[in-house]
Chains A and B, each alone.
Chain A
Amino acid sequence: MAHAIEVSHVTKVYRRYGRRRQFATLKSAIVSGTVVRDLRPDETFPALQDVSFSVTRGQTYGIVGRNGSGKSTALKIVAGITKPTTGSVRVEGRVSALIELGAGFHPEISGRENVFINGIMLGLSKREVARRFDEIVAFAELDDFIDAPVKTYSSGMYMRLGFAVAIHVDPDVLLVDEVLAVGDEAFTHKCLDKFREFRRRGKTVLLVTHQLGLVERFCDEVLWLDQGHNRAEGDPRRVVGAYVSAVEQREAVHLAAENARAREAVDASPATQPPDAAPEAAAAPPPTDDEPRDMFQATEGRWGSRQVEIVDVALLDEAGQPGHIFHTGAPMTIRLRVQAHAPVDDFVFGVGLFNADGVCCFGTNTDLEELVPERLEGAGEVRFHVERLDLTDGTYKLDVAVHKRDGVPYDYHRLLYTFRVTSRTRDVGIYRPPHRWHFSGNVRLRGPDA
């Protein structure tokens, strides 16, 4: 099979200049006799290191990776905008790069004239642009505004026109860098339809995006770049899966550090009453919405008399391992290690879950669930087991507390623990009840596009 794009052992080193270079001028360079030296970089930064991949003609090939992993550099090298430091690139056929839409539009002149200039810039002849002009304008949905100067366009109109021109260049190889997020929902669909059409006609597409769902649906093969290295290549589901779990791992490390930092900050302060919250407000995480106001206003922190102390909080996954990332629908256990400095017989354990907006998703305590305290002495462990974490994708914060039945806190940890719930479905809201769809015989749906 013929390769439309062949990138072999490409390394791209960007120069990074120090402060001295940035403020240097020709004059100072001449005066101090460092013209030659100033033209040399102080430091270099490898954006790509020995990256190789090839794309078969007619394939849709995705590149994923974190910000700064070299995706855009790879695309620019394939487009020929920058040259690789070492290695070689071969591209067959006409290339059109959707890197920045409408780059090169001149604000003062009309959309019509800009379409011509942009089209010619992207490699069409004047006649070719003229032939496609109506189609371009129709695609951009700009019939009424095409003769207005581009500076009067909204950013959406600008992007749409840029996209329309670029896609009508009719390239053999289309390079797309994160530009599908232009325009409204309907326009996005139109763009996706256009991509499907490209695929049908056997054109090659190189797609750089953070929308992993798109990659899984559209791409035949995926390359995962990590800090300029080729981390994995091949089947979209496998590569995207590996990428997602790596991102989760990194996030978990990050969350753990954040939690530790939050704990450290409050542990440094002595045991106190909450700064402004009344005792009853700082009491149990209210499960009802009767008196939630103070609850929502209180920020993160830790307070209480510490007669009973929560010395350790951990979130455990299915296997009992501490973690910070949980999948929707998976079990989760909140483990509290407590230490009573003197025996007590009046105590309530409570937990509360909040989403990133500060909305209480769930809150309960042992008193509300009619568990009567008898005695707590020395060290102990409390586990709150959630069978299914039916929350939607997002970041959540946790309250844990031990307090008296009248609400006077022993140890109240307010929003000190963060965890993430991840979901492959992009459903919305907070709660994701276990659910299924049923359709009668006349209603037919099928799975996602292959």
Chain B
Amino acid sequence: MLANLRQLVRYRGLVQSLVARELKARYRGSVLGFFWSFINPLLLLLIYSFVFSVVLPGTRPQELEPYALFMFCGILPWTWFSSSLLESANVLIASGNLIKKVLFPAEVLPVVTVLANMVHFFLGLPILGAFLVYYGAPLTPGELAWFPVVVLVQLVFTLGLALVLSALTVHFRDLKDILSNMLTFWFFATPIIYPMTMAPGVGRQLLNLNPMTHVMVSYQEILFYRGPFGHWKWLLALGAAAVAVFLAGYFLFDRLRDSFAEEV
């Protein structure tokens, strides 16, 4: 397993080119091209803003103003997370031809999926930055230094899940249908469109069990809330857990590796 991990590092050139290809191919032929990376989260933001400001006004506490900014802090990383998982669930089957005919480490494929979506996330950051500046968000360098750490934790955690999902979907095709429902549920079970503080006592305990809660709260504390970054203990604990998830995911992937060429 460790040897295989080293091999993955050796194939970083391939990962790099494939990520570039993924990004190029995705918007090739569309008029707006790369701008979709910006437009998609913007549209999503618009919908939620509309729902919570016009359709359901007065359902949120005062501390959440400007609400659009609060939500944007969460939606952007969530999009990275959920589309990574959805795509990687399908990636081995979609590339069945490659796996059957070309010798290369299959884990490259889910890794590329997660990384390509991460680049999309990065492309959305300038918009978030513009929002932050526009609303005069309370940013401090000390807090912003934590931002890459949150991204890293999310990356490792997502990679672990992506490996598990891609490997299992080869054997259970309907996993990806279950997954899209699971992700919708997960989205609402994570404080993205509502703040952690709104959850009642028991609910908060439950939310604490959700790893994505801590990722999102970290983003919100760094970018949105005033005051020092107080969630770092949770974040570091999650980081350790993410590494464990990644290793477990890689272990599972490695165990199922030999079956891919026959099953896809």
Q: Which residues of A contact B (CB under 8 A)?
A: 14-15, 25-27, 29, 39, 76, 79-83, 95, 97, 99-100, 103-104, 106, 108-109, 113, 116-117, 120-122, 125-126, 149
Contact = CB atoms under 8 A, between A and B. Distances in A.
A59 B229 CA distance: 67
A27 B178 CA distance: 9
A83 B258 CA distance: 7
B98 A103 contact: yes
B171 A15 contact: no
Interface in B101-129: 101-104
Given A83-B258, A120-B13, A121-B14, A95 B25 contact: no
Which of A95, A97, A120 has the most chain B CB atoms inside 10 A of its CB? A120
Contacts of B95: 104
Given A25-B173, A76-B261, A109 B21 contact: yes
A106 B101 contact: no
B113 to A, nearest CB: 14
Contacts of A120: 13-14, 17
A81 B13 contact: no
A274 B28 CA distance: 65
Interface in B21-52: 21, 24-25, 28-29
Contacts of B207: none
A26 B174 contact: yes
B98 A81 contact: no
Given A100-B102, A113-B24, A117-B18, 15 more contacts: A14-B262, A15-B262, A25-B174, A26-B174, A39-B171, A79-B103, A81-B103, A95-B103, A100-B101, A103-B100, A104-B102, A108-B24, A109-B28, A122-B102, A149-B28
B33 to A, nearest CB: 12
Contacts of A76: 261
Contact of B172 (A29, A99, A100): A29
A99 B173 CA distance: 26
Given A80-B103, A81-B102, A97-B103, A126 B13 contact: yes
Contacts of B14: 117, 120-121
Contacts of A82: 258, 261-262
Contacts of A104: 95, 97-98, 101-102
Sorted nearest first, the 3 A-B pairs with minimum C-beta distance are A26-B172, A103-B101, A100-B101
B183 interface: no
B175 interface: yes
A244 B258 CA distance: 36
Contact of A117 (B17, B101, B262): B17
B25 A109 contact: yes
A116 B17 contact: yes
Contacts of A15: 262
B172 A81 contact: no
A103 B172 CA distance: 25
A297 B97 CA distance: 46
25 contacts: A26-B174, A26-B175, A81-B100, A81-B101, A82-B261, A82-B262, A95-B103, A97-B103, A99-B101, A100-B102, A103-B100, A103-B101, A103-B102, A104-B95, A108-B24, A108-B25, A108-B29, A109-B21, A109-B25, A113-B24, A116-B17, A117-B14, A117-B17, A117-B18, A120-B17
A126 B174 CA distance: 38
A169 to B, nearest CB: 11
A345 B71 CA distance: 106
Q: Which of B17, B101, B178 has the most CB of A within 10 A?
A: B101
Nearest to A122: B102
A178 B4 CA distance: 31
Contacts of A26: 172, 174-175, 178
Nearest to B97: A103
B91 to A, nearest CB: 13
B207 to A, nearest CB: 27
B29 A81 contact: no
A15 B178 CA distance: 26
A126 B28 contact: no
A167 to B, nearest CB: 15
